Amino acid sequence: MHKILISLIILCYFASCNRKPSQQTDPGLSNQAKQILGKVDTMRRYKMSDQAINYLDSTYHTIKNPSVKDLFERLNVKFMHYRTTKEDAAKTNLYADSMLALLNNWQNQYKLEYIDALFAKGDATLMNKQSNTAFHYYYKAQYFAAKNLDKCHAYGFTYRLGEVRYKQKQYQQAIHFFKQAYHDSEKCNDKQTLYNTYLSKNNYLNSIGICYELIGKLDSATLYYKKAVNLINQYPQMHQLKEDYILTSMGIVYGNLGGVYAKLGQYDQAEYYLKKSIAINDRPEFDEVDALTAKIKLAKLYLNFNHLQKTDRVLKGLRRKLAVKYSEKAMPIETQLKLYQLEWMYYDKTGNIPKAYANLQLYYNKQDSFNKASLALKASDIDMFFKNNEQQYKLNSLSEEKEKQQNYLLSLIVFSVVIIITLFFLSHSRKKLKMLNRQTTEQNIQMQKLLKALELSQYENTRMMQIVAHDLRSPLAAAISITSLLKDADLTTDEHKMVDLLETSCTHSLEMIADLLNINTNANDIKTESVVLKSLIMYCIELLQFKAKAKEQNLIFSGINVTIKANPAKIWRLVSNLIVNAIKFSPIGGNIEIEMFKTQDKVTIKIKDQGIGIPIEHRDKIFDIFTDARRVGTSGEHSFGIGLATSKQIVEAHHGDIWFESKINEGSTFYISLPL
């Protein structure tokens, strides 16, 4: 046996000789680098890019033993600075090369960063009018992503390919990539933070809308812009953050939606959304370039509807922006083109022919230079380039495959030896395994018998409790009737107090028995029928009006006509429990609102009070049976602590959901969601 093991070790050693040495690991982004990069990001958002780069260079030298990730992020910031802010093609290319060189031996640990570096190199060569070289790097990025990343990490790079199509003005093909990125991101919500979900989806929907607008499909553009707006409203917690980039994305979508409404001739809608966009982004720390675009759309809207004074007021502000030469605040060429065209149309309409002609000349001169700059990129065939590269990669892969097959053959021999040894040990241990198997089977049988006995015992206990509770109802009801008669009798003050005490005790006991009878409700125990939910809730409210009037409270109901499959008695108990709780814990003279509304394939019941609220320490256990989170009502009412537990069981037995929102001394709102 020892000789076999020694031989196996020798074989494994020779098999590993052909493998590359494993890479060392990098600690990742340091805390000091995170702090520096956070401040740099803030400075750049406030249009202080030059100061940000100076700060970055001066502070990064203080990081002791910077990691690969630290160095990469510094290069990436400088790459973005020279690409977007300075538009310096030479330095952009320099930093893209530096990023690739840094990650030369770190692709396996930093896959996402390596793909970013490939895209950066593609963008840099595109700035230098080398479209074929750019496509080569884009293809390498796509190939590496497809080979090394799952869809939940690769969809961002699918979007990047859509951006390339967009730059080529191939909008229909860009829509394909943008939609693919959006659908892939939809399947990966559980693996993202809310921030990434919000921003990426919002960006994808907005980009799809822009492409549809550019190819003249305004209805489709409106649809996707509205989807982006709905996404904004879907995450109200993002609004509470009030982060600049969240508000900026909202402003961009509003501006695009307003522009489409303007093209459709819907004046009020167009003006509303364009003004909202300008109000958000026309500030130094936001997207002032997008605000310029929204202003041009607004001026064009006013001009088309002959609001010439409003048009002139907006144009004056745009002319002041045109005069700014500082690179970060200068008006982009595309925006200048739109402004010259708009000035030409405005002066033509107002009869100022010399100024109209001057702006017409400026427009055509700028347009000629702009078209020449983008002509080569638009004419390039990225599809053909990708196909040719794919063929070349297949040829290169064949030689790599041959080397792999040799390694696989040697590995196969090693694994065959391992299998033979494993089979030997399995054969030797077969009798022991059979014996253990037999013992385990016997133990399983005993456990099954014990489990059935426990289930039967639980069922009998529950059944007995329900029988006892049910039989107690009649004498208690009789006692309550007798106390009602005694109240009219000629009794002393002390005797009346005793009768009131007896009546209260019997009533509380009846309420507790009603809750006990509904304990352990499940889907198999209930019989359902068609229930008109609005009528049932109105009946509950009618029966409970006397309780509300005793505390001078108002039960306010608004509902819709829906029919559900349910057990009417159980649903009556569920709604009654929640309304009684609202009455119990609300102050005298308070309002209790009961509302019904549809949400997709469900109906939701909302019960809102103005009561004392639920303390934070009780919120995790109010649905527990016999919870210790019992409290006295606002008028001294008793609580047994099982009403909400019963309510939850009834809801779950109907395949629904129950939840609540609460603020101390402001009230609680309970929600019941039931399937239609």
Query: Does one domain contain both 469 and 598?
Result: no
Predicted local distance difference test score (pLDDT) of residue 4:
42
Picking from 25-34, 240-249, 288-297, 300-309, which range would have the lowest pLDDT averaged per residue? 240-249
Domain assignment present for 542: yes
Other beta carbons less than 10 A from residue 41's beta carbon: 14
Query: Does one domain contain both 326 and 353?
Result: yes
Query: Does one domain contain both 375 and 271?
Result: yes
**Better pLDDT: 459 or 108:** 108
Query: Does one domain contain both 251 and 346?
Result: yes
532 forms bridges with which residues in the sheet?
A: 563
**Better pLDDT: 277 or 334:** 277
Predicted local distance difference test score (pLDDT) of residue 160:
76
Q: What's the rounded Cα separation, in Å, for the pair 234 and 139?
A: 36
Q: What angle do CA 625, 629, 632 make, to 5 degrees?
A: 115
- Mean pLDDT in residue range 440-448: 85
Q: What is the pLDDT of residues 247-261, one digit of tens each?
A: 788 889 999 999 999
Q: What is the pLDDT of residues 593-645, one digit of tens each?
A: 999 999 888 999 999 999 999 888 888 888 876 666 667 778 777 665 677 88
Read off φ and ψ for residue 57, nearest 5 degrees.
Answer: -65, -40
Q: What's the rounded Cα separation, in Å, for the pair 301 and 266?
A: 10
Domain assignment present for 437: yes
Query: Does one domain contain both 246 and 292?
Result: yes
Handedness of CA 487, 489, 494, 495 (dihedral sign): negative
Among 517, 552, 574, the domain-final residue is 517
What average pLDDT does the structure give for the chain? 79
Picking from 285-294, 332-341, 455-464, which range would have the lowest pLDDT averaged per residue? 455-464
661 forms bridges with which residues in the sheet?
A: 669
Distances (CA, A) of 672 to 502, 528, 602, 647, 668: 35, 18, 10, 10, 13
Domain assignment present for 260: yes
Query: Does one domain contain both 494 and 358?
Result: no
Among 344, 379, 414, the domain-final residue is 379
Predicted local distance difference test score (pLDDT) of residue 101:
93
The confidence band for 374, taking pLDDT boundaries of 50, 70 and 90, is low
* Domain membership of residue 529 as a residue range: 525-675
Domain assignment present for 336: yes
Query: Does one domain contain both 505 and 609?
Result: no
Query: Does one domain contain both 503 and 589?
Result: no
pLDDT at 179 over 80: yes
Predicted local distance difference test score (pLDDT) of residue 604:
95
Query: Does one domain contain both 445 and 472?
Result: yes
- Mean pLDDT in residue range 515-525: 62
Q: What angle do CA 304, 308, 309 make, to 5 degrees?
A: 145
Predicted local distance difference test score (pLDDT) of residue 543:
82
Predicted local distance difference test score (pLDDT) of residue 94:
93
Predicted local distance difference test score (pLDDT) of residue 19:
42
Tokens of 397: 């892969």
CATH of the domain at 629: 3.30.565.10
Tokens of 1: 């046996």
The confidence band for 208, taking pLDDT boundaries of 50, 70 and 90, is very high
Q: What's the rounded Cα separation, in Å, for the pair 110 and 123?
A: 20
Q: What is the pLDDT of residues 4-53, one digit of tens each?
A: 444 434 344 434 444 444 456 788 889 999 999 989 888 877 778 888 89
Q: What is the pLDDT of residues 182-203, one digit of tens each?
A: 888 777 755 455 556 666 788 8
In one-letter notation, the amino acid at residue 379 is A
Query: Does one domain contain both 511 and 548?
Result: no
CATH of the domain at 460: 1.10.287
Among 465, 491, 517, the domain-final residue is 517
Number of domains in the chain: 3
Query: Does one domain contain both 491 and 556?
Result: no
Predicted local distance difference test score (pLDDT) of residue 241:
47
25 exposed, middle or buried (CB, 10 Å; 0-12, 13-18, 19+)? exposed
Domain assignment present for 293: yes
The confidence band for 540, taking pLDDT boundaries of 50, 70 and 90, is confident
Q: What's the rounded Cα separation, in Å, for the pair 259 and 290?
A: 12
Domain assignment present for 472: yes
Predicted local distance difference test score (pLDDT) of residue 3:
42
CATH of the domain at 325: 1.25.40.10
Predicted local distance difference test score (pLDDT) of residue 7:
44
pLDDT at 397 over 60: no
Query: Does one domain contain both 540 and 501?
Result: no
Closest C-alpha to 274, from 290, 288, 291, 294: 294
Q: What is the pLDDT of residues 563-598, one digit of tens each?
A: 999 988 889 888 988 999 899 999 999 999 999 999
Predicted local distance difference test score (pLDDT) of residue 668:
93
Task: Establish how many alpha carbons lie within 13 A of residue 232's alpha carbon, considering only the half-sphere containing its beta carbon.
Answer: 21
Predicted local distance difference test score (pLDDT) of residue 667:
92
